[in-house]
């Protein structure tokens, strides 16, 4: 004091025991799903406690979570706050790519589909329907094919591939018959459509022209081959009138 006298004392400043947090979480199993969970347990401290998550939820435990970052603020009975942060992850999405070989000739079964699967968790299983469980397909006709892939976590995704084919190779023939009995002025003219140009023609006997002229009576067969090797065959009959009898 003012005369130099002194005295001492000890003062203890105490604080409440900090709460102890026990936390656990599960990540999302399948990409894009909402199967994540967070469990928070609190012991000690000065309860009761209130909870506030960064997305507005007010329960200690969370379910049905999508992948993302979650922050929990816990407030005790003295308005003291404690922060816990969590990251819920997910596996990469299952991705299917395909390479398609189309049917060469209309009505054929030369189509193929080759697939590659990435992401997810290997091994994968494959289902095209109809009991087909291979990743790749051969001997396919034109059409749409859907593959469902399931990974080791039972996550699934589907992919659709389409097989197309060339248009039908067809022939329209104009046939002119022999005018007079015993004559040779018959002819056959062909108009070809479909397939892929250019076309080649085979009448047999080394004749490879598109049209025939100076024909006598008979049956004439032609095979038309397009640029892809597809063929179409047809035959035509040249007739003549009966002979004039005097």
Q: Tens of pLDDT along 73-82?
A: 999 998 999 9
**In contact, 31 and 93? CB cutoff 8 Å:** yes
What digits encode the pLDDT tens for the residues 79-104? 999 999 999 999 999 999 999 999 99
| pLDDT computed for residue 33 by the predictor | 95
Instruction: Enter the pTM of the model.
Output: 0.76
- β pairing state of 36-43 and 20-26: antiparallel
Q: Phi and psi for 197 in degrees, rounded to 5?
A: -75, 160
Q: What angle do CA 79, 83, 85 make, to 5 degrees?
A: 155
């Amino acid at each position: 004091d003012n005369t130099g006298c002194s005295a001492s004392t000890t003062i203890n400043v105490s604080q409440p025991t900090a709460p102890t947090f026990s936390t656990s979480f599960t990540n999302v199993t399948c990409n894009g799903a909402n199967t994540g969970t967070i469990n928070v347990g609190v012991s000690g401290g000065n309860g009761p406690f209130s909870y506030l998550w960064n997305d507005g939820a007010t329960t200690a435990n969370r379910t049905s979570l999508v992948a993302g970052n979650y922050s929990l603020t816990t407030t005790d009975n003295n308005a003291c706050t404690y922060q816990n942060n969590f990251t819920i992850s997910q596996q990469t999405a299952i991705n299917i790519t395909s390479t398609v070989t189309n049917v060469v000739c209309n009505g054929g079964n030369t189509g193929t589909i080759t697939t590659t699967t990435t992401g997810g968790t290997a091994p994968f299983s494959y289902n095209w329907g109809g009991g087909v469980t291979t990743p790749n397909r051969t001997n396919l006709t034109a059409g749409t094919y859907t593959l469902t892939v399931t990974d080791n976590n039972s996550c699934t995704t589907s992919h659709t591939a389409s097989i197309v084919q060339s248009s039908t190779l067809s022939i329209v023939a104009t046939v002119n018959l022999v005018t007079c009995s015993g004559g040779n002025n018959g002819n056959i003219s062909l108009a070809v459509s479909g397939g892929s140009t250019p076309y080649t023609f085979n009448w047999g006997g080394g004749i490879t022209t598109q049209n025939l002229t100076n024909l006598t009576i008979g049956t004439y067969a032609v095979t038309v081959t397009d640029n892809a090797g597809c063929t179409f065959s047809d035959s035509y009959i040249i007739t003549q009138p009966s002979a004039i009898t005097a």
